[in-house]
């Protein structure tokens, strides 16, 4: 979550700055200060790329444990509880488009 939030904030700051045209680069707008305050957040407490890799490894290992042991894994904030029903969700939610004409 931290990685995605900081990257989205970084992109939003840049988009706001560019939306103002040349005025967005003026000190008075404060966009530079906001960007400078946010940029270190992308590496505080670990680089975003590393954090995403760790999170994805945790989710994949939780998925494997759930289906190997036939025991749903739960987390305190229910963030990985979807894994228990993932196979049924994927099986039941197939795209019905089979040809270009269906689009």
| Residues 60/18, Cβ–Cβ less than 8 Å | no
- Tens of pLDDT, residue by residue over 15-39, are 999 999 999 989 999 998 998 888 8
- Tens of pLDDT, residue by residue over 40-93, are 887 777 788 888 888 889 888 888 888 888 777 778 888 888 888 888 888 888
pLDDT attached to residue 20? 93
Whether residue 102 is predicted with pLDDT greater than 90 in this model: the reply is: no
This prediction has a pTM of 0.55
| Residues 66/73, Cβ–Cβ less than 8 Å | yes
pLDDT attached to residue 26? 92
- Give the ranges where 1-103 is alpha helix by DSSP (H): 2-19, 31-38, 48-69, 86-92
């Amino acid at each position: 979550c931290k990685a995605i939030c900081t990257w989205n904030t970084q992109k939003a700051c840049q988009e706001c700055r560019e939306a103002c045209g040349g005025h967005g680069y003026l000190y008075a707008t404060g966009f530079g200060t906001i960007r400078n305050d946010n940029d270190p957040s992308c590496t505080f407490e670990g680089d975003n790329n590393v954090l995403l890799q760790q999170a994805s490894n945790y989710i994949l290992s939780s998925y494997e444990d759930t289906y190997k042991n036939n025991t749903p894994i739960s987390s305190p904030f229910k963030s990985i509880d979807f894994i228990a029903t993932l196979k049924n969700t994927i099986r039941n939610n197939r795209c019905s488009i089979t040809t270009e004409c269906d689009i």
